[in-house]
Structure 1
Amino acid sequence: MPGWVFIISRSLIFLLLLFVTTKILGKKQISELSFFEYVAGITIGSIAGEVVTGLESNAYHGAIAIFMFGLVTFLVNYISIHSKKFRDFAEGRGTVVIKDGKILEDNLKKEKYTIDEISALLRQKSIFRIADVEYAVLEPRGNLSAMLKKDYQPLTPKDIGLKLPNEESPQTIIMDGSIVDEALRWTGKSRGWLYAELEKMGVTLDNVFIGELNSYGELTVDLYDDKIKVPQPQQRPLLMASLKKVQADLELYCLSTNCEKSKAMYKKNAALLQESIDKLKPFLNG
């Protein structure tokens, strides 16, 4: 049998074997790797490559080697889940490298990291001054977790007493110019509604690369033709503007009437509407 036939057949067999092994090991094998997983992954790939291209090698032996490395990695992960001591040994522990804005040089040398490398990891988190950091930990998988000092932490809506609505994840109801019927049904909308919204925007379905519907029922689209400007949803801003106009009209009626009973009624309703506007502002600001 020609050599190229061996290579093709072995490539398909070991590609399938590697896929099955990776599926068994789980998502960690293709995300952030521990030291052991990193070594095992490289070795498994090297074995597969050698067996696929080495026509005189024994494919059966290569399959056994891949199986053994996959089995050992699986067992290490399994034991790590049930034993913290073993997990600390196999995967390592987090190391504090910054505390109270000061770098812990001994820990930094222990992990063989330089100041430049730590600074680069901090800049990836939009932190440009080490003195602003309250606490930073170098995690076992090589990423840096950092907490800013209280004075430098960004304000949150809770800090200023602002209540915001809970946002649900948007649903992709158009993809590659085709309607995703399952997602559309999930939103409770119909195809007729969708075609009507696209008509309002002045776009056709076949020109929509992706269309998303948010939790407020607003449709946003990304077109294949980037030169076409698509208007942004205005339902919420328009509703807020209408409410403000009605509230202003009530105050105007209150000032323009001479009837004390009507004046009190307009004033009361204007105050109630203003209270409603304040409550709805986080929802209707767009």
Structure 2
Amino acid sequence: MDYLLNGGKLVIGLVALLVVIRLLGKKYLSQMTPYDVVYLLVFGGVLEESLYDEKISIPMFLFSVVVWATAIYAVEKIVTLSNPLRISIKGETDRLIHDGKINKKLMEKNQLEMEQLRTMLRMQGIFSLREVRDLFIEPGGEISINQYAKYKPVAVQDMNLENREEEPTVLLIDEGKIKKEVLDFIGKTEAWLYAEMRHLGHGNLQHILYCEWSKTEGFFIKTNADVSNSQK
């Protein structure tokens, strides 16, 4: 009897989840927000509790699932009517980079470090921050990128140009701090880095927010003067 009871609860839970996903639209298959994670965790808790508590009958479990699904559907409909409420519940898109300037406040708000940002860029096929004009982080954590025009893909064979290979970049200075392990990895020394920075007019490394380097492209540097501190 216990097997049939648990099996029934699992089937009801699966059907309820599929119905809710269907009602909310296909966007939820690819765009998960923090709110979506919360309601899935709540559903998992309800299902787990019902499976291990024999006192919870199928009608009681079904009632809980209906309340859960109704609440989610109601919230989704309400947030479409109120933009401030939608932002407070779902979050909003933040522009981390605008016209090549890094917004430090929004980086801190989203708890992002430079190396994490570089990882996200590499996943988009971009291996240098120099290519990025605008970068947005969506409520679900995905990033949207607007590259500078000269870095946007072009079919080089159509222009009779030689397609030169580029080495991947490495992060050497992050918010004024030298990444010693990265210098060791590329076979360079701190003395070399200091000399190169002085040559480029950066005597004080504390003023450097971001410094990347590659064998083919050389240095790309963002200083504190390139920072935007706006809230949007």
Normalised by the length of structure 1, the TM-score is: 0.50
Please identify runs of 4+ aligned residues in structure 1 that moved more than 6 A.
none
1:95: Cα distance to partner?
A: 0.9
Could you tell me which residue of structure 2 aligns to residue 129 of structure 1? 128
What are the superposed Cα offsets for residues 139-174 of structure 1, whole Å, 9 maximum, x if unpaired? 1111011111122122379x98xxxxxxxxxxxxxx
2:77 maps to a residue whose letter is: Y
User: Within the alignment, does 1:74 sit opposite 2:87 as a pair?
Assistant: no
Unaligned runs of 5+ in 2: 160-232
Could you tell me which residue of structure 2 aligns to residue 57 of structure 1? 56
Whose helix fraction is larger, Structure 1's or Structure 2's? 1
1:1-286 matches, cutoff 5 A: 2-155=1-154
- Look up the SS of the partner of 2:16 in the other structure: helix
What are the superposed Cα offsets for residues 8-59 of structure 1, whole Å, 9 maximum, x if unpaired? 2332233323333332233244332222222011211221232134323243
Whose strand fraction is larger, Structure 1's or Structure 2's? 2
1:95 maps to a residue whose letter is: D
1:5: Cα distance to partner?
A: 2.6
1:83 maps to a residue whose letter is: S
Provide the C-alpha distance between the structure 1 equivalents of 2:62 and 2:30, rounded to a whole number of angstroms.
Answer: 24
What are the superposed Cα offsets for residues 167-194 of structure 1, whole Å, 9 maximum, x if unpaired? xxxxxxxxxxxxxxxxxxxxxxxxxxxx
Could you tell me which residue of structure 1 aligns to residue 227 of structure 2? none
What are the superposed Cα offsets for residues 197-250 of structure 1, whole Å, 9 maximum, x if unpaired? xxxxxxxxxxxxxxxxxxxxxxxxxxxxxxxxxxxxxxxxxxxxxxxxxxxxxx
- Look up the SS of the partner of 1:145 in the other structure: strand
- Asked if structure 1 preserves the Cα contact closer than 8 Å seen for 2:100 and 2:134, the reply is yes
Provide the C-alpha distance between the structure 1 equivalents of 2:87 and 2:35, rounded to a whole number of angstroms.
Answer: 12
- Look up the SS of the partner of 2:41 in the other structure: helix
Provide the C-alpha distance between the structure 2 equivalents of 1:140 and 1:116, rounded to a whole number of angstroms.
Answer: 20
Provide the C-alpha distance between the structure 2 equivalents of 1:97 and 1:123, rounded to a whole number of angstroms.
Answer: 16
- Look up the SS of the partner of 2:13 in the other structure: helix
1:70: Cα distance to partner?
A: 1.4
What are the superposed Cα offsets for residues 96-152 of structure 1, whole Å, 9 maximum, x if unpaired? 112233322211001111112111111111111112211101111110111111221
1:154 to 1:22, Cα distance in 2 relative to 1, 3 A: closer
Normalised by the length of structure 2, the TM-score is: 0.60
- Asked if structure 2 preserves the Cα contact closer than 8 Å seen for 1:36 and 1:73, the reply is no
Provide the C-alpha distance between the structure 1 equivalents of 2:4 and 2:34, rounded to a whole number of angstroms.
Answer: 36
Q: How many residues are treated as equivalent by the alignment? A: 158
Provide the C-alpha distance between the structure 2 equivalents of 1:126 and 1:62, rounded to a whole number of angstroms.
Answer: 46
Provide the C-alpha distance between the structure 2 equivalents of 1:52 and 1:29, rounded to a whole number of angstroms.
Answer: 27
- Look up the SS of the partner of 1:126 in the other structure: coil
Provide the C-alpha distance between the structure 2 equivalents of 1:42 and 1:28, rounded to a whole number of angstroms.
Answer: 19
Aligned CA RMSD, in angstroms, stands at 2.4
Could you say which structure has the greater relative contact order, defined with CA pairs below 8 angstroms and 6 or more residues apart?
Answer: 2
Provide the C-alpha distance between the structure 2 equivalents of 1:58 and 1:5, rounded to a whole number of angstroms.
Answer: 11
Provide the C-alpha distance between the structure 2 equivalents of 1:49 and 1:22, rounded to a whole number of angstroms.
Answer: 20
Provide the C-alpha distance between the structure 1 equivalents of 2:118 and 2:53, rounded to a whole number of angstroms.
Answer: 45
1:107 to 1:37, Cα distance in 2 relative to 1, 3 A: same
- Asked if structure 1 preserves the Cα contact closer than 8 Å seen for 2:33 and 2:90, the reply is yes
Provide the C-alpha distance between the structure 1 equivalents of 2:68 and 2:24, rounded to a whole number of angstroms.
Answer: 11
Provide the C-alpha distance between the structure 2 equivalents of 1:30 and 1:101, rounded to a whole number of angstroms.
Answer: 32
1:90 to 1:31, Cα distance in 2 relative to 1, 3 A: same
Larger CA deviation: 92-101 vs 131-140: 92-101
